[in-house]
Chains A and B, each alone.
Chain A
Amino acid sequence: MTLWDGVVDAFRLLGRGDPYLLDVVRRTVLVSGAATVLALVGGVPLGYLLARTRWPGRALILAAVHTGMGLPPVIVGLVFYLLLARSGPLGRLELLYTPQAMVAAQVAIAAPLVVSFAAAAFQSLPDELGDLLHVLGAGRMRRLWLLAREARLGLLAAVMAGFGAIVSEVGAALTVGGNLDGSTRVLTTAIVLEASRGEYARAIAFGTVLLLLVLGTNLILTAAQQRGR
């Protein structure tokens, strides 16, 4: 049976340290990891602002963020493709079909998830906590850091949602990355390639590795999240 063969194959490849597989896994982690970190750097402070402050346009941005959570990755990929293509407005950067382009597109996919989860996490804290730190004289960054520690359950959920969404997306990775062997091939695009070649067992093997990767990441994050509970 192809499905079972694939799963067994996954462990065989992992067991003998298949260089091709490890290369793809390494790139997957680097690209999606970098995109997650960048989405957090921008998304957590924005989530904080959306949760802690009131200003005109806030509801509009929240609605836009929530809409962004459902954006199909292939659409995001297409937009970045058009921006980065040789004839596009950012064509001179020559970023199309590079890992950097994949990171950029994946940031755009992860950011709405991160912002939304972060805003919900900060909003679940009592308002008095932020007010207290403000009155006691904590600066903006100190306040953000102290409140982020309080909201770590929700923020780690934001990390898991963001990373989970982009490590498993194929639309943007394929459109702006191009699935070039040795430079932009990641697990999802490798799966697409193997499946199109009729190598179903290999496709399942790569799929299994992807699943293990997400499981492993979430195990580590969940352990961190639940520590000291």
Chain B
Amino acid sequence: MRVEIADLEVVRAGRTVLALERLVIGSGRVTVVLGPNGAGKTTLLRAVAGLERCRGSVTFDGRPVRPRLAVAFQRPVFLRGTVRANLALALELAGISPADREARIAEAAGVLGITALLERPASRLSAGEAQRANLARALALRAPVTLLDEPLAGIDGPARRELLGALPAAFRAGGGTVIAVTHDPAEAALLADDLVVLLDGRVHAAGPAAEILSAPPDAETASFLGWDTIPGEGGVWAIAPGALRVGRGEVAFSLAVERATVVGGSPVVLGRIAGVPCLARLGEAPPPAPGETVSVSAPRSAVRWFPGSR
């Protein structure tokens, strides 16, 4: 189901927390809304869910009628009773027949790895378990539109990697439109078909995730995505994360070396380019001494120039 947002404005205590001219969420796609804390991501999700007082319109396949939605809030909430009872209630409210409920619960619990927790009272789950049960409840519904607020909040370590692997398949199996919110660019990169970058209540970028991640449309987006942004003459250079290396290349900068260390198994040099802290891979070169200035470079495809930005 295609979700279309037009002229959406949410004002809270006299401050505009969200202002979207037009945003289209593609049918059957996983759209990740990415932005830092306080950017208005949760507000956007709540506006789509109809929980937020706002101006503007949200339409579903062109109609202003909200379809059945599935939602997982950032804070997992449950009613009394077991995890199974909580999932069953959600399915019952969605009009799923009792016979189908069991199968849906079993499947969602399998994907989220909570099969062993189904008979446990929901009030006795750890934070990570509760978050997984929260997601299982949303996925089991297979709603035309599923809204997930920070789906991996509170889940870390191996469970997180496992879920990042399992969720895209689960989304596709559900077949509906998924809108997920996160502050983590790495998580967004792994989950998203499409990306919406929300900064300070405004959309800075929207489109296929691969395009935005490889070519952010403005300096703020680039900076948020982890690109090094370096002020230049009349604009800003943005260098893709991990693209800088010591030595000559297509686009060169000079790096004032602060120290050498190892990141992710490779030797790197930490220092500053035009006063901005940066990191360059060292490769085979001998480590420069602190205080030295070395030439670093990046391939042209990994560097963007934003004129007029500061």
Contact = CB atoms under 8 A, between A and B. Distances in A.
Partners in one complex: yes
Interface of A: 126, 128-129, 131-138, 142, 146, 149-150, 228
Contact of B94 (A134, A137, A146): A137
A215 B51 CA distance: 44
A137 B93 contact: yes
Interface stretch (B33-41, B70-78, B163-171, B196-204): B70-78
Interface of B: 46, 49-51, 68-71, 73, 75, 77, 79-80, 89-90, 93-95, 141, 147
Given A126-B77, A150-B80, A136 B51 contact: no
Given A126-B75, A132-B71, A138 B93 contact: yes
A132 B73 contact: yes
Contacts of B79: 129, 146, 149-150
B77 A134 contact: no
A131 B73 contact: yes
Contacts of A132: 71, 73, 77
A137 B68 contact: yes
Contacts of A133: 93
A157 to B, nearest CB: 17
Main secondary structure, interface of B, reads loop
B164 to A, nearest CB: 24
A128 B75 CA distance: 8
Nearest to A54: B53
A137 B69 CA distance: 8
A135 B70 CA distance: 7
A58 to B, nearest CB: 14
B49 A128 contact: no
B266 to A, nearest CB: 43
Contacts of B95: 137
Given A131-B51, A136-B90, 15 more contacts: A126-B75, A128-B77, A129-B77, A131-B46, A131-B73, A132-B71, A134-B51, A135-B51, A136-B70, A136-B93, A136-B94, A142-B93, A149-B80, A150-B80, A228-B80
A135 B69 contact: yes
A136 B94 CA distance: 7
A87 to B, nearest CB: 50
Nearest to A125: B77
Nearest to A132: B77
The 7 closest A-B pairs by CB, nearest first: A136-B93, A128-B73, A128-B77, A129-B77, A135-B71, A137-B93, A126-B77
